[in-house]
Amino acid sequence: MTYNEAFMQRAIELSGTALGIAGTEPFGAVVVRDGRIVGEGLNHSLAHFDPTSHGEVEAIRDACRKLSTVDLSGAEMYTSCEPCPMCVATMEVAGISALYYAASMSQTGEAFEGLTKTHRHPIDVDRLRSQAGALVGDRLIPSQQHLDRQASDILVAWATARKSNG
């Protein structure tokens, strides 16, 4: 995998479109496979009332739809800013093989210093990192498990049906 400046320029160009589009934030990303852009994304969290609508997640969604797959193994992510833990988790699930980013998390924090919580910034990235990787019993959000047998029975039935179908 080799860095290609044209793809980074496109991610930054996408982030710049947020300067003129209400409800967007300046986080752009592109997914590249086999030397071509297969997905693009811009943060639309405020416009869509969707806290998961980060540029990287949107680029992955776009690539998966266009390629009719959820497996992006071998694809690369170019993004205008270092991805948050949620985006990194999404990249892992999708199979993104390489990451290239422009602004660091600390540069973003400096730029966004003083923004109100209306814009959901600054996000406490350290807390997000610690909580995303913690076991359920160690997380700050209280959790309880209920009806696990019923849910597990459905999981087993679903997996069994797929195992027998090859």
Cα–Cα dist 105/125, whole Å: 8
Edge-to-edge strand list for the sheet holding 25-33: 36-43, 25-33, 76-81, 98-103
Is the distance from CB of 42 to CB of 94 less than 8 angstroms? no
Q: What region, left, alpha or beta, does residue 88 occupy, with left being phi > 0 and alpha being psi -120 to 50 degrees?
A: alpha
User: Quick check: is 56 catalytic?
Assistant: yes
**Active-site hit among 5, 25, 40, 56:** 56
Residue 98 phi, psi (nearest 5) = -150, 150
Task: Please return the burial class of 136, using the count of CB atoms within 10 Å of its CB with bins 0-12, 13-18 and 19+.
Answer: exposed
d(CA 149, CA 76): 39
- Residue pair 108/84 in contact (Cβ under 8 Å)? The answer is no
**Catalytic positions, please?**
56
